[in-house]
Amino acid sequence: MSATASRTATVAGVEVPTDHYINGERVQSAQTFTTISPIDESVLAEVSRASVGDVDLAVQAAHDAFPAWAALGAVERGRYLHKLADLIDKNIEPLAQVECADMAMLLRSLRARVIARGALNYRNYADLAVAYEERDWHSKGTWNRVQRMPAGPAAVITPWNAPFMLSTWKTAPALAAGCTVVLKPAEWSPLSCSLLASLADEAGIPPGVFNVLQGIGAEAGAALVAHPLIRRVSFTGSTRAAREIGQSAARNITPFTAELGGKNPLIVFADADLDAAAAKAAGQYDDAGQVCLSGTRLLIEESVLDTFLEKFHAATDAHVLGDPREDATTVAPMIHPDHVARVAGFVDRARESGQRIVRGGQRGEGLFYEPTLIEPTGNDAEIVQNEVFGPVLTYQTFADEDEAIRLANSTNYGLSGIVYTSSMGRADRIGRAVRAGVVWVNTFLVRDLTAPFGGVGNSGIGREGGDYALDFYSDLKTLQILDGSVA
């Protein structure tokens, strides 16, 4: 490994550094890995593949930079984060172009909201950290105050879907709380996070405070979460990987948070606006179904099933599979050949086990997979119980609220739920009964960044968002002073 002029690749007309960003410098690895574009499977770049030595270099840099960054205080740290947010806003177009090429999210979505959400994350957490008020109270002859202490170097491991936004969502509270960061983006879509490192450098964030390692999860990710100098681990990804990361973090008694997958219900009652519900259900095919919060289990009150399905099919027929750079496209290709094969495997096994493929169920050209709807033979079917993470929905019917709740809570997941009803009383009852980190009623993907976010069961542990995230990246201390003992 060596610190040198960074190797770069030209992606969508943008020069992207392909080496790590460690201690304020670009650092090469002897080995590389290849990242391809899901749009046409062309090679985008050869990216530095972190070794254990690279991981140690990055963690040591974060460790060394931590005392000074923590000592700055929330106001000074916030100035850096606001400058970084301003730079993101100025670079929305190149960031969007690179992420579109690398991950195939719709370019218009990246331009309109997703990249800008990264800037909002930094501003939001910078301001929340400054506004934090320590809790004071009097008890048993003493004056008490709860104080936040920055925890130390944090390992942040992010997934391949919406990599830029999700990286900012995690690094923003860590940096605002006074932690230093080593970010490892997913190997299938690493390039926009490399641009984030360049913007952090331009914002003047001190060397070692923000580091980015490119690498393979089983190699660099494993070494990162096991490092004894890491004091927090934040992960978004699969339940299987989270189990391994959690075990590794536990060996060092390192606090760990994980936002994982979902098998989320979308519940439609007979009193709902069926046009809106059907359109939202068909909208779950957006981003090729590669959204952990998507409502992939359609639960429909049996009296309106035929009407709902008619409207759902009409809305799904309006989808356009195509190039994510084109405005007409509504469903883009999937991320990687291996992931297409995984999704196809779920559908093939469903077909072989007697589940009815109502529509779709076939691969398209390249990395496309048809929007698919399956009627399962029973609630215990694999296609109902396990996360597919692709454009594959199931539907089941229910007779009443009790059955709807039973079906909604019948998997090991609990990330989100979506409910369509015109009754406030029912919205409250179902909202309380569904076991999930968030339940939307008559809407979807509306986020207040101060609200807690996370899952239950196989959907995760811990909460992100607002003060919940700032508390995670802090050690809480109670200062207690005897009355009358100090002047």
pLDDT digits (tens, 9 = 90+) for 46-70: 999 999 999 999 999 999 999 999 9
Start and end residues for every CATH 3.40.309.10 domain found in the chain: 264-441
pTM here is: 0.95
Q: Which of 84, 200, 208, 106 is nearest to 152 (CA)?
A: 208
**And the tokens for 68?**
């000074």
Look at domain 264-441 and name its CATH class. Answer: alpha beta
Give me the CATH topology for the region 2-260+455-478.
Aldehyde Dehydrogenase; Chain A, domain 1 (3.40.605)
Residue 235's contacts (CB-CB under 8 Å, 6 or more residues apart) are: 157, 225, 241, 242, 245, 256, 257, 258, 259
* Residues 457 and 412: beta-carbon distance below 8 Å: yes
pLDDT > 90 in the chain, percent? 98
Choosing from 259, 301, 387, 464, the catalytic residue is: 259
HSE-up (13 A, CA, CB side) for residue 261: 19
Q: Per-residue confidence of the chain (487 residues) as pLDDT tens digits?
A: 334 567 999 999 999 999 999 999 999 999 999 999 999 999 999 999 999 999 999 999 999 999 999 999 999 999 999 999 999 999 999 999 999 999 999 999 999 999 999 999 999 999 999 999 899 999 999 999 999 999 999 999 999 999 999 999 999 999 999 999 999 999 999 999 999 999 999 999 999 999 999 999 999 999 999 999 999 999 999 999 999 999 999 999 999 999 999 999 999 999 999 999 999 999 999 999 999 999 999 999 999 999 999 999 999 999 999 999 999 999 999 999 999 999 999 999 999 999 999 999 999 999 999 999 999 999 999 999 999 999 999 999 999 999 999 999 999 999 999 999 999 999 999 999 999 999 999 999 998 999 999 999 999 999 999 999 999 999 999 999 999 999 8
H-type alpha helices, 132-231: 163-177, 191-202, 222-226
Start and end residues for every CATH 3.40.605.10 domain found in the chain: 2-260+455-478
> Tell me, what amino acid is at 257?
T
> Tell me, what amino acid is at 191?
L
At which residue do the structure tokens 């105050």 appear?
145
Choosing from 99, 193, 292, 301, the catalytic residue is: 292
* Residues 209 and 181: beta-carbon distance below 8 Å: yes
Distance CA 436, CA 434 (A): 6
> Tell me, what amino acid is at 379?
N
Distance CA 476, CA 44 (A): 44
Q: Is 259 a catalytic residue?
A: yes
Give per-residue pLDDT as tens, 362-404: 999 999 999 999 999 999 999 999 999 999 999 999 999 999 9
